[in-house]
Amino acid sequence: MIMLSEREIEILKLIADELSSIEISEKLNISIRTVDSHRRNIIAKTGAKTLIGLYKYAIKNQLVDLYIKV
């Protein structure tokens, strides 16, 4: 498994929960630029090309549960 930092994993989980960068920044009390920087690092480390690629990585590595919100 690729080594993501605890913060990157936290942000990846929030991305998987469909939060925007603005929502993530408000929730974690960090700047939008910091969120975007983490997002870029996550994409670079995982090799994902799309958000679906990030979801696949998160599910495959059991970082998020495979469920559908209703």
pLDDT at 15: 93
Give me the CATH number covering residue 26: 1.10.10.10
pLDDT at 41: 96
Residue 68 lies in a domain: no
- Taking phi first (over 0 means left), then psi (-120 to 50 degrees means alpha), and beta for anything else, what does residue 22 get? alpha
Residue 24 lies in a domain: yes
Residue 33 lies in a domain: yes
Q: Which domain holds residue 33?
A: 6-60
Joined tokens for residue 30: 């960090």
Residue 10 lies in a domain: yes
Residue 67 lies in a domain: no
pLDDT at 69: 62
Please give the model's pTM, rounded to 2 decimal places.
Answer: 0.84
Residue 27 lies in a domain: yes
- The total number of structural domains that make up the chain: 1
Q: Which residues of the chain have pLDDT under 50?
A: none
The CA distance from 24 to 10, in Å, is: 10
Q: Which helix (H) or strand (E) holds 33?
A: helix 32-46
